[in-house]
Structure 1
Amino acid sequence: MSPTSQPTIPRVALVTGTSSGIGEAVVKHFCHLGHQVLAVDYNPDGKAIADAAGAAFFEADLTGADACRAAVAEAVKRFGHLDILLNNAGIQHVASIEEFPEAKWRQILDLMLTAPFLLTQAAWPYMRKAGWGRIINIASVHAQVASPGKAAYISAKHGMVGLTKTAALEGGALGITANAICPAYVKTPLVDNQIADQARMHGMEEQEVIEQIMLKNAAIKRLIDPSEVASLAAYLASDAAGAVTGASWNIDLGWTAQ
């Protein structure tokens, strides 16, 4: 999983949620390894990030089914095939179940569970035809455990692990692997933006949120760097990981060791 290791064969990868955080780190790392990458994000600012990394960019709101299919079609149009699908796009909303807006629930589930399913479904025929494919779903430590105030996010991430396992079983005979990566809190804008929400919900100072909520259950008391997740994704996307499928890879600072 060294950042300097090279893939056996450069592949074509579609990565979602690429304008910041984990997705941005994956795009940069995959391009460094020689992969051809289509970076997909609803934020047009993602184009500059993709251009700087050497990736192509496709602007899309993946809460729509047509946009998911269009993203896969764009990757195949540009590069001729599709080998790696990394589902990362996500949003967060912090509120109690009693106060959680139905519209926000639906948006989060559409983006973080339905979209990965539709993208996988659209990519599947190309991977099956090639006899080789890698599906990598960025889940979360919250795919393993729950926390208050995150009903939609946690439901989506738990569902993503189920989707990963099903894809692994269906893809095994076809040369397609599927794995989930389950990080604890990563130093990303998504995490930064929810600190204030958590502080309001729990009546805490923002630094207390980091110490008493985000890092409370961690053995290693720090946030994860996005590049650490990207390195694990690169391994799972490689030929070396051909025997690895249906697994949830915890990169959680020891959170679930208790």
Structure 2
Amino acid sequence: MTSEGTTSHEGRAALVTGGTSGIGLAIAQRFQQDGMRVAVLDLDRPQSREVAETHGLIFIAADLTRREDCRAAITKAVQVLGGLDVLVNNAGFQHIDPVADFPEDTWDAMIHVMLTAPFLLSKYAWPYLTRSGQGRIINVASIHGHVASPFKSAYISAKHGVIGFTRTAALEAGEQGLTVNAICPGYVRTPLVEGQIADQARTRGISAEEVEQKVMLEPAAIKRLLDPADVAALASYVASPAAWGMTGAVLDLDLGWTAR
């Protein structure tokens, strides 16, 4: 077993949900570089399989709104990886609607993917993650786990819930050598965010750069979007044996957003 205080990931196995684009893909690639065996989970789409194959990642298809898919995904990950040491709950999507007009089925799907699924995946992975005494659960939350913005009711509710789940699970896992932590990024330059920038530029009649600086980054101290690799670098440390004493932590990578 790797001794406490080192940073080696060699020989460890990780599953990253939502791992074929954006933050999830960056984390999966970083874990690969660190020497881990990595599987990525996403919906069963040709483009997702192609991304995984291109990057040499094991692909696991699952619909995280389905309880049985969550269980089957962990079983499959353990089979193909030969065990499981790190679970990254990253999958999600964003939907913008006023509360009064928010579709109920969309609410259900978003809460399932971003809050219920992390609980279920963690529950099913628990016996494997505790086996080595160096297990890690990393929940990718958001700065919106701390603060609210209009038109994102389900997203913000789920991310607040993820922080509560992280802290509770950490207390339950401590004596088993399993740590549970959350990463809360600010705006990250992902395909999803790029799409939001283009939409807001069009509806507001301003440039994409103005959307970034005057809308998205207005509350931030550092006026620059994060890169997915920035989040991946933090995840790499949290997953490492060196982070053995960090659990129940909510790690803000928020450009100073919450410093006010």
For the criterion TM > 0.5, the same-fold answer is yes
Match of 2:55 in 1: 53
Counterparts of 1:98 and 1:209, CA distance in 2: 26
CA contact (8 A) 1:23 1:88 kept: yes
Q: Following the alignment from structure 1 to structure 2, what is the Cα–Cα distance between the partners of residues 64 and 44? A: 20
Query: Does the CA contact (< 8 Å) of 1:92 and 1:194 recur in 2?
Result: no
Equivalent position SS for 2:99: coil
Q: Per the alignment, in what secondary structure is the counterpart of residue 190 of structure 1?
A: helix
Are 1:40 and 2:60 counterparts? no
Rounded Cα–Cα distance in structure 1 between residues aligned with 2:124 and 2:160: 22
- Letter in structure 1 aligned against 2:40: A
Give the residue type in structure 1 aligned to 2:256: G
CA shift for structure 1 position 106: 0.8
How far did residue 45 of structure 1 move? 1.6
Give the partner amino acid of 2:241.
D
CA contact (8 A) 2:201 2:207 kept: yes
Q: CA deviation at 1:126?
A: 1.1
1:5-154 equivalent positions in 2, closer than 5 A: 7-42=8-43, 43-154=45-156
SS at match of 2:127: helix
Instruction: Give the conservation status (yes or no) of the 8 Å contact 1:135–1:177.
Output: yes
1:122 partner letter:
Y
CA RMSD of aligned residues (A): 1.7
Higher mean displacement: 42-51 or 237-246: 42-51
1:192 shift after superposition: 2.0
Q: Is 1:222 the counterpart of 2:224 in the alignment?
A: yes
SS at match of 1:45: helix
User: Which has the higher mean CA deviation after the structures are superposed, 187-196 or 71-80?
Assistant: 187-196
Q: Quote how far apart the aligned CAs of 1:197 are.
A: 5.2
- Alignment of 1:233 with 2:235, yes or no, is yes
Q: Deviations over 1:104-160 (max 9, x none)?
A: 111100100001000000000112233231000000000011111100000000000
Matches within 5 A, 1:165-204: 165-196=167-198, 198=200, 203=204
| Alignment correspondent of 1:164 | 166
- What secondary structure sits across from 1:130 in the alignment? coil
Distance apart, 1:102 and its partner CA: 1.0
Q: Is the 8 A contact 2:134 2:244 kept in 1?
A: no
Query: C-alpha separation between the residues in 1 aligned to 2:100 and 2:197?
Result: 20
| Residues 112 and 234 (structure 1), Cα distance of their counterparts in 2 relative to 1, 3 Å cut | same
Q: Matches of 2:150 and 2:21 in 1, distance apart?
A: 25
Find the residue that maps to 1:148 and give its secondary structure: coil
Per-residue CA deviations over 1:1-56 (Å, capped at 9, x if unaligned) read xxxx9625431000000121000101111111110011101133222222233221
Q: Are residue 252 (structure 1) and residue 254 (structure 2) matched?
A: yes
* Contact map agreement 1:96 1:148 (CA 8 A) in 2: yes
- Secondary structure at the counterpart of residue 145 of structure 1: coil
Shift of 1:186: 0.3
TM-score w.r.t. the length of structure 1 is 0.93
Question: Contact conserved, 1:94 with 1:197, CA < 8 A, in 2?
Answer: no
Deviation, 1:98, is 1.3
Q: Aligned pair count?
A: 253
Cα distance, 1:119–1:44 mapped onto 2, change above 3 Å: farther
TM-score by length of 2: 0.92
Q: Counterparts of 1:255 and 1:10 in 2: how far apart (Å)?
A: 37
Q: Quick one: distance in 2 between partners of 1:13 and 1:75?
A: 8
The 1:50/1:7 distance shift into structure 2, 3 A limit, reads: farther
CA shift, 1:79, in A, is 2.0
SS at match of 1:98: helix
Give the letter aligned to residue 246 of structure 2. V
Tell me how far apart the structure 2 counterparts of residues 56 and 37 of structure 1 sit (CA, whole Å): 6
* CA distance in structure 2 between the aligned counterparts of 1:205 and 1:101, rounded to whole angstroms: 29
SS at match of 1:40: strand
Unaligned runs of 5+ in 2: 1-5
